[in-house]
Structure 1
Amino acid sequence: MSIVQHIDVTLEQELRQGPLHGVHAEVAFETPNSDWVARRSGLCVNLFLHSVEEEVTQRQTGDSTVVDENGVVIGYRRPTRYFRLGYALTVWAQNPRDEHSLLGTLLEWCVATEKLAPYRDPAAGPLVLKLRDTPEGSEPLSVKLWSSLGTPPRPVLDLLVTVPVVRPPTTVESEPVKGVTLRAQRLDPPVVPEEPPARAPRPAGARRPRRNVEEIV
């Protein structure tokens, strides 16, 4: 199951166990365009996935080492990355009163619910759920969504689900060092040449020995 499928299934389970408990309503993930609206019948809660973007404010750098039971480095773990999935949550019913009633219940659930079940690795943390803040002066999602789909406008809850994505660790390419072998070899001491015996000093006043000088004529 992919990450998006996991979030779809988690959202549907949380809705049916929470605000939709005991309510006979369909949960759909289709694009609410004019064709879908024409085919729709009965009470329906639609979760249209309209955006996937990285949460750059939580991006981290630097790898951490992974060691085995002997303390040997066997790889490196890369930082977790976080992504936000935007869902346009809408309610479709036969009359506006039923839509408003269920929409209010869903709004309370979105405000009260902050965390969902974690994705795959519990150590990475849970899924974080919140409503997107629309900056002042910017165009709300409802205007952009319905104008692009050609559907009559209706209230939209812009639901954000932040999911931590754990990247697999990298392994050490070379074989880790398991031991060190030391080898010793006996070396003979170097041969130092003997110095000639020192001559005894001449007594004071003694004459130098005369050398035989052969006269050459």
Structure 2
Amino acid sequence: MIHEIDEALHGLLTSQVLATSGIEVVFDAPTREWASRRNAPTVNLFLYDIREAVEHRQQGRRAHHAADGTVAAVQGPPRWFALSYLVTAWTKRPQDEHRLLSDLLCGLMDGDVLPAERLGGSLAALALAVPYTIALPPGEGRALADVWSALGGELKPSLDLVVTAPLAAARRPVGPAVTDALVVRAVDRADPRRGELRRPRHEGVSEDGAIGVRRVRGETDRRPPAGPVPR
């Protein structure tokens, strides 16, 4: 799922927000060593935090049916995760970097979900909207200054981009369908050894719609008498 979000963001920025600019979009860690090797205008989206969006948790299961209509597998609802990106612009002049950040801010403020046509793989299969926020104050425990300190680089103007993406739950196969009918026993009080009855086992449906049956070993032919059931 994470790499699919990377691909969606890359396509959105290069094809729409920064179209015709020729600016490279990368996902590297903006360390001092990386900055010293950079020699072209670049927009960097560094994924610095991944955590579950627990407010999106759901309960229940979805059944997946086989060709014959029986339940073949069950699947829980997707789990949602907040992916936080540190978005920075890298050029030779601070004014150009500020202009790039402004273009990014304006382009991403146009919407609040990733375009459906940009989603692929498991995200496309789920067919769920993938929301994002841009430049909101970081949540608890996500100070951007601490990120820069951990990277060993100098603090730069940046945008905080948070994408909340679903992760599909695994399908779990279920056991084979039950084909044996329930067993029912009726005992004669006068002689407990007599009067045992068993419901026949289903063997399929005939052409006229009648259910074929097969006797179970030990089954007797005795049936309860017709008429009202004594109370």
Structure 1: distance between partners of 2:222 and 2:125: 62
Give the one of 15, 33, 36 matched to 2:34: 36
Deviations 1:38-74 (A, max 9, x none): 1111211001110111111011122233334554232
Corresponding residue of 1:113: 111
When the two structures are superposed, what TM-score results if normalisation uses the length of structure 2? 0.70
Please give the secondary structure, in 1, of the residue aligned with 2:73.
Answer: strand
Q: Which deviates more from structure 2 when the two are superposed, residues 88-97 or residues 167-176?
A: 167-176
Unpaired runs of at least 5, structure 1: 190-217
Structure 1: distance between partners of 2:132 and 2:8: 11
> CA distance change for structure 1 residues 115 and 143 in 2, over 3 Å: closer, same or farther?
same
Please give the secondary structure, in 1, of the residue aligned with 2:47.
Answer: strand
| Contact 2:17-2:108 at 8 Å conserved across structures | no
Corresponding residue of 2:161: 159
Alignment of 1:1-217 (within 5 A): 3-68=1-66, 70-116=68-114, 117-119=118-120, 120=122, 121-131=124-134, 133-134=136-137, 141-177=143-179, 180=202, 181=213, 183=215, 185-187=220-222
Please give the secondary structure, in 2, of the residue aligned with 1:46.
Answer: strand
Structure 2: distance between partners of 1:78 and 1:140: 30
Larger-gyration structure (1/2):
1
| Contact 2:105-2:134 at 8 Å conserved across structures | no
Q: Percent identity?
A: 30
Please give the secondary structure, in 1, of the residue aligned with 2:176.
Answer: coil
Q: Shift of the alpha carbon at 1:131? A: 2.1
Please give the secondary structure, in 2, of the residue aligned with 1:115.
Answer: coil
When the two structures are superposed, what TM-score results if normalisation uses the length of structure 1? 0.74
The code of the aligned residue for 1:127 comes to: V
> CA distance change for structure 1 residues 188 and 162 in 2, over 3 Å: closer, same or farther?
closer
Q: Shift of the alpha carbon at 1:101? A: 0.9
> CA distance change for structure 1 residues 25 and 132 in 2, over 3 Å: closer, same or farther?
closer
| Contact 1:111-1:131 at 8 Å conserved across structures | yes
Unpaired runs of at least 5, structure 2: 181-200, 203-212, 225-231
The code of the aligned residue for 1:50 comes to: Y
